[in-house]
């Protein structure tokens, strides 16, 4: 039992470390590729990685042949993730400093609670409303503070970051009703929309830095983190303990943004992020056992 829990914590930490690097990786990759080219190359890398995982499990043929039954579902999910979600998110990162885009993206869990009202018939508790107000107060602090601190931030960039949370939350609400095996489903989703991503990719930068940064996102953001988190949640008997690890990610991410990208982390970022995390903690502590199963509880 202890060994299983130790493995779960190790896998959870591995996923968190992957997510912690993503904001920095996005900025580096966007210096070499357009948004559409990056989405295509990262998706291609992720398909290869997930295909190898399925091959090692002896499930690759099953995943490919079952597309005959699931191609419509795969097309819908693939349109949301990776196509629409990553285009919107990367456009936000292209416009905003990483220290602004990254914390805003963490509010997707609040958006999930909001969308669950019309789509799943949930009711917002007073704790949900409190969490909502606190989280979005954090977004306001970060957005207004960025301008006051001399950071290049725009309403359009903030709007794109917030829209990405709507898309991600909608994806997970729909995903809660998808009964395909998770890794197989993600592989199918990415595979089906890969030709579409390639069609809109435009010119590709095939230099080594460009290819490596794109591949890093495909493997660590879209692949390894998903697999590690999935198996961490499967191995643990205490899901809340593993879920709490996600609160480490934004702070590790800010350290990388500072030391790797060279962004000066302003006080408004810490204040705003503290509000967002406080709101998420309130929501997490007060929540009933979730009906929407989130394998990736934090992003970017």
Question: What pLDDT shows up at residue 238?
Answer: 74
Smallest CA-to-CA distance from 240 within 20, 15, 8 is with: 8
What are 30's two structure tokens?
């966007």
What are 192's two structure tokens?
């089906």
On whether the CB atoms of residues 18 and 248 are closer than 8 A, the answer is no
Q: 273 or 2: which carries more pLDDT confidence?
A: 273
Q: Which residues contact 266 (CB under 8 A, 6 or more apart)?
A: 99, 145, 146, 149, 151
The 3-state DSSP class for residue 16 equals helix
Question: What pLDDT shows up at residue 289?
Answer: 46
How many CB atoms sit inside 10 A of residue 203's CB?
9
What are 288's two structure tokens?
């009933």
**pLDDT-derived band of residue 160, with 50, 70 and 90 as boundaries?**
very high
Residue 3 has pLDDT above 80, yes or no: no
**pLDDT-derived band of residue 113, with 50, 70 and 90 as boundaries?**
confident
Smallest CA-to-CA distance from 242 within 284, 287, 300, 274 is with: 284
Lowest-pLDDT range of 20-29, 180-189, 209-218, 236-245: 236-245
Question: What pLDDT shows up at residue 300?
Answer: 56
Question: What pLDDT shows up at residue 146?
Answer: 67
Residue 96: DSSP 8-state: S
Question: What pLDDT shows up at residue 135?
Answer: 93
Residue 273 has pLDDT above 60, yes or no: yes
Lowest-pLDDT range of 14-18, 139-143, 210-214, 239-243: 239-243
User: What's the distance, CA 267 to chain centroid?
Assistant: 25
Q: Cα(152)–Cα(148) distance, rounded to whole angstroms?
A: 10
Question: What pLDDT shows up at residue 167?
Answer: 97
Residue 290 has pLDDT above 60, yes or no: no
Q: What would the mean pLDDT of 110-114 be, rounded to a whole number? A: 89
Question: What pLDDT shows up at residue 7?
Answer: 87
Q: Cα(58)–Cα(274) distance, rounded to whole angstroms?
A: 44
Q: Cα(105)–Cα(92) distance, rounded to whole angstroms?
A: 10
Residue 139 has pLDDT above 70, yes or no: yes
User: Could you tell me the pTM of the whole model?
Assistant: 0.90
Residue 177: DSSP 8-state: T
Q: Cα(170)–Cα(118) distance, rounded to whole angstroms?
A: 11
Question: What pLDDT shows up at residue 193?
Answer: 98
Q: Cα(116)–Cα(291) distance, rounded to whole angstroms?
A: 10
Residue 294 has pLDDT above 70, yes or no: no
HEC string for 195-242: HHHHHCCCCCCCCHHHHHHHHHHHHHHHHHHHHHHHHHHHHCCCHHHH
Q: Cα(291)–Cα(237) distance, rounded to whole angstroms?
A: 17
Lowest-pLDDT range of 65-74, 157-166, 174-183, 251-260: 174-183
Rounded to the nearest integer, the mean pLDDT of the chain is 89
On whether the CB atoms of residues 204 and 33 are closer than 8 A, the answer is yes
Total count of residues recorded for the chain: 300
Listed ranges 20-29, 107-116, 123-132, 223-232; the one with the highest mean pLDDT: 20-29
Smallest CA-to-CA distance from 266 within 152, 181, 120 is with: 152
Residue 231 has pLDDT above 90, yes or no: no
**pLDDT-derived band of residue 297, with 50, 70 and 90 as boundaries?**
very low
Q: What is the pLDDT of residues 16-42, one digit of tens each?
A: 999 999 999 999 999 999 999 999 999
Q: Cα(108)–Cα(299) distance, rounded to whole angstroms?
A: 9
On whether the CB atoms of residues 62 and 184 are closer than 8 A, the answer is yes
């Amino acid at each position: 039992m202890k060994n299983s829990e130790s493995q779960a914590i190790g896998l959870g930490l591995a996923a968190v470390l992957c997510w912690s690097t993503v904001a920095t990786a996005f900025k580096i990759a966007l210096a070499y590729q357009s948004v559409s080219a990056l989405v295509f190359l990262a998706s291609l890398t992720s398909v290869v990685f997930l295909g190898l995982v399925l091959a090692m499990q002896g499930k690759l043929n099953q995943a490919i042949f079952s597309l005959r039954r699931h191609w419509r579902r795969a097309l819908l999910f693939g349109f949301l993730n990776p196509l629409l979600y990553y285009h919107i998110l990367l456009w936000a990162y292209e416009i905003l400093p990483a220290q602004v885009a990254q914390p805003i993206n963490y509010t997707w869990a609040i958006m999930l609670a909001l969308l669950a009202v019309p789509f799943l018939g949930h009711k917002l508790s007073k704790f949900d409303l409190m969490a909502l107000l606190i989280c979005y107060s954090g977004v306001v602090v970060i957005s207004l503070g960025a301008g006051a601190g001399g950071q290049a931030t725009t309403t359009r960039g903030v709007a794109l970051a917030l829209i990405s949370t709507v898309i991600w939350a909608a994806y997970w609400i729909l995903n809660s009703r998808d009964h395909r095996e998770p890794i197989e489903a993600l592989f199918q989703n990415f595979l089906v929309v890969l030709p579409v991503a390639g069609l809109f990719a435009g010119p590709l930068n095939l230099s080594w830095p460009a290819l490596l940064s794109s591949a890093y996102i495909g493997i660590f953001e879209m692949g390894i983190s998903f697999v590690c988190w999935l198996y961490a949640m499967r191995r643990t008997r205490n899901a809340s303990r593993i879920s709490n690890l996600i609160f480490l990610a934004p702070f590790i991410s800010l350290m990388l943004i500072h030391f790797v990208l060279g962004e000066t982390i302003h006080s408004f970022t810490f204040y705003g992020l503290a509000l967002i995390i406080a709101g998420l903690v309130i929501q997490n502590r007060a929540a009933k056992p979730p009906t929407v199963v989130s394998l990736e509880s934090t992003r970017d």
